[in-house]
């Protein structure tokens, strides 16, 4: 018998198994309250309290104050060696970055607009510079960054580590993004689609918290989905699950940038919406359309309501396929509120199987524009924990 381990079936063995279960839950799901750990692990609240107390004394976890459902709470997270985590989330025309300490506390965030046709090297160099500035502001150096979560607004091929469609993000064509960004920061990088990262952010800290089966709809300049199955992000066999914007809804419709005809994006993406208003309203930006619609402009209201209705039809298909508990709508178009959510819900109810539609809760996102970069920090935390666990 290995004298360093308790005998199987003993009280000490049970306590060790319970400690490992608590650590596994926090490792997989990120910082949680003790109540959330109990729910996720199946352990009693008293057992979790005892295990957390022991793990805290051993320095295996860190405790930090937070707010849950409007009340003060204590979050339990894996202890860190004192380094930084970094999150990077690219949009088609901007990049958001953030750094956090090992307990997940955000120390700083930055935003920078980019040209719509920016290339990968330029984007990554700017992101690295922003992160270096944030680290410096926090009293650290860029060398203190231990792991990076990185998001692109395009399909991400988990096999090649590249953008999964040359046409959707042409400036990033052929670039192994994780390897290239790791070269800029000298830290490991985990790559994902920004809709998945936004779903992860809402799952850990927002409107999807505690949800086992759900979906995040990122409705912005285009539309994408992050799918949650069994409390985890579902990415598919090659990492490209959730590309709802490239579902064909009219096989004789307009040519999409992906090369197909009649994709959902060709009807509800910003290019289509702005084009439909150009004759009556002149040149507008998407933010202008949302602002005017909320102020009562009938034309702007109409295109937003029509877009919500079309997305609702597509979401009804998701509801029929995966039968989620919750669907969260975020992204720039979600700023239109009920102007987009009401027709989306009506189309969902009309087109989904009645029993599935009746049980799904449609919610606005809680984290707004920060969802994907917060999700990127969660991805970085998971990467950092995996790296630490792998050390001999």
Same fold, 11-78 and 207-365: no
Domain boundaries, the chain: 11-78, 84-197+372-390, 207-365
Neighbours of 390 (CB within 10 A): 7
Predicted local distance difference test score (pLDDT) of residue 251: 93
- Show the tokens assigned to 206: 């927002």
Q: How confident is the model at residue 392 (pLDDT cuts 50, 70, 90)?
A: very low
Closest CA to 379 of 159, 228, 160, 189: 189
Looking at CATH, the fold of the domain delimited by 11-78 is given as: Arc Repressor Mutant, subunit A (1.10.10)
pLDDT at 130: 95
The token pair at 307 is 């877009």
187-229 confidence digits (pLDDT tens)? 999 999 999 999 999 998 899 998 999 999 999 989 999 999 9
pLDDT tens for each residue of 249-307: 999 999 998 889 999 999 999 999 999 999 999 999 999 999 999 999 999 999 999 99
Whether the Cβ atoms of residue 34 and residue 74 lie closer than 8 Å to each other: yes
Considering the domain delimited by 207-365, tell me its CATH architecture: 2-Layer Sandwich (3.30)
Structure-derived torsion over alpha carbons of residues 206, 207, 208, 210, reported in degrees to the nearest 10: 80
DSSP string, 215-248: EEEEESSSEEEEEEETTEEE--SSS-TT-GGG-B
The two three-digit tokens of residue 242, written as one number: 């959730």
Nearest 5°: phi and psi at 198?
Answer: -65, -40
Cα dist. 203→124, 341, 366, 375, 377 in Å?
A: 27, 20, 10, 9, 13
Distance (Å, whole) CA 157 – CA 164: 5
Q: Count of alpha carbons within 13 Å of 158, Cβ hemisphere only?
A: 12
Q: In this structure, are residues 86 and 131 in contact, taking their beta carbons and an 8 Å threshold?
A: yes
CATH of 84-197+372-390, one of 3.50.50.60, 3.40.50.1400, 1.10.1520.10, 3.30.420.40: 3.30.420.40
* Structural contact between residues 207 and 326, judged by C-beta atoms closer than 8 angstroms: yes
Burial of 283 (0-12, 13-18, 19+ CB in 10 A): exposed
Instruction: Give residue-wise pLDDT tens across range 23-68.
Output: 878 877 778 899 989 998 889 999 999 999 888 887 778 888 877 7
């Amino acid at each position: 018998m290995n004298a360093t381990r308790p005998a199987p079936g003993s009280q000490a063995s049970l306590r060790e198994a319970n400690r490992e279960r608590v650590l596994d839950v926090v490792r997989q799901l990120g910082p949680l309250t003790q109540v959330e750990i109990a729910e996720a692990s199946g352990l009693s609240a008293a057992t979790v309290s005892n295990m957390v107390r022991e793990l805290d004394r051993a320095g295996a976890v860190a405790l930090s104050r937070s707010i849950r459902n409007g009340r003060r709470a204590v979050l339990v997270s894996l202890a860190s060696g004192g380094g930084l985590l970094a999150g990077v989330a690219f949009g088609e025309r901007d990049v958001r970055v953030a750094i956090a300490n090992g307990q997940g506390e955000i120390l700083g965030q930055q935003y920078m607009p980019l040209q719509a046709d920016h290339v990968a090297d330029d984007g990554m160099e700017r992101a690295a510079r922003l992160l270096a500035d944030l680290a410096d502001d926090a009293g650290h150096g860029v060398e203190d960054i231990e792991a990076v979560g990185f998001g692109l607004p395009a399909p991400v091929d988990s096999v090649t580590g590249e953008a999964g469609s040359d046409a959707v993000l042409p400036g990033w064509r052929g670039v192994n993004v994780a390897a290239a960004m790791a070269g800029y920061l000298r830290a490991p990088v985990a790559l994902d689609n920004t809709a998945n990262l936004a779903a992860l952010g809402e799952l850990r800290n927002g409107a999807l918290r505690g949800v086992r089966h759900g979906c995040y709809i990122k409705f912005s300049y285009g539309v994408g989905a992050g799918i949650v199955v069994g409390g985890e992000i579902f990415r598919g066999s090659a990492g490209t699950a959730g590309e709802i914007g490239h579902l064909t809804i009219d096989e004789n419709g307009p040519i999409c940038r992906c090369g197909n005809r009649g994709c959902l994006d060709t009807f509800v993406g910003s290019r289509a919406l702005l084009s439909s208003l150009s004759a009556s309203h002149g040149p507008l930006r998407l933010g202008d359309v949302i602002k005017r619609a909320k102020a009562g402009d009938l034309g702007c209201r109409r295109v937003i309501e029509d877009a919500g209705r079309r997305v609702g039809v597509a979401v009804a298909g998701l509801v029929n396929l995966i039968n989620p508990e919750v669907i969260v709508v975020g992204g720039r178009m979600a700023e239109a509120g009920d102007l987009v959510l009401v027709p989306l819900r009506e189309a969902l109810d009309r087109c989904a199987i009645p029993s599935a539609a009746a049980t799904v809760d449609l919610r606005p996102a809680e984290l707004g524009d920060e969802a994907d970069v917060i999700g990127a920090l969660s991805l970085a935390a998971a990467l950092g924990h995996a790296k630490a666990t792998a050390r001999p």
